[in-house]
Structure 1
Amino acid sequence: MSTSAENGGENGSLVITEEAAEQALGLLRGEDMDTDVAGLRLFVQQGGCAGLSYGMRFDTEPEDDDHIYEGHGLRVFVDPSSHKYISGSRLDFEGGLQGAGFDVDNPNVEAECGCGESFRT
């Protein structure tokens, strides 16, 4: 299943910011991965004090049942069980005094833990 991310943040989509795409593509290229096929896998897993947390890793290609989002040249793979939690979110990259990293702005989150590492929907 393939879906474009550049059509906004409506339900069922994932918006990928230009900064997130640039950072992820640079890392993918640094690992000698083909950015036409490879991408960033974004998933939700059990864990953290609020119950759920995000995970990310690079994959050489999507799985057959993945939702595939594309934005600014970056492909993001989301498995079906994670999709219900991530749908409608915005993937960004933020840097600052506390460090730099990818950030998921998720409208489905009802509560987050105090440190911001886990969430509940």
Structure 2
Amino acid sequence: MIKRTFGKAVIFAVVGIALGLSGCSGLDTLPTAKVAGEKEGVGTDYRIGSDDSLQIFVWRNPELSTNVPVRPDGRITIPLIEDLPATGKTPTELARDVEKKLSTYIQDPIVTIFALI
């Protein structure tokens, strides 16, 4: 009786494993995952447009770091600097402009600008 029960358990286990493995054979390949934060169409030549949002980071001066919208007239306003044209520039070009303006108030400012898309 024990041999018969053991034999049925072995057969049941083998059939279960075979069915489980046969289900795996019909899977299609999965699509390639993208890295978090990767955006299509945004590259190093990205140009700022009106109605964009920008994150401005001023190293060692967190009180000047802020998020700002680009107004419909294409300008931004950040602390210590009044209106500054932004549209048509890359974030790096705009960061250099902000550094020039801030150098009146801060010694050797380092500015990084990100377009928040």
Greater relative contact order (Cα < 8 A, sep 6+): 1
Larger strand percent: 1
Q: Normalised by the size of structure 1, how large is the TM-score? A: 0.28
Larger helix percent: 2
Bigger radius of gyration among the two: 2
Q: Normalised by the size of structure 2, how large is the TM-score? A: 0.28
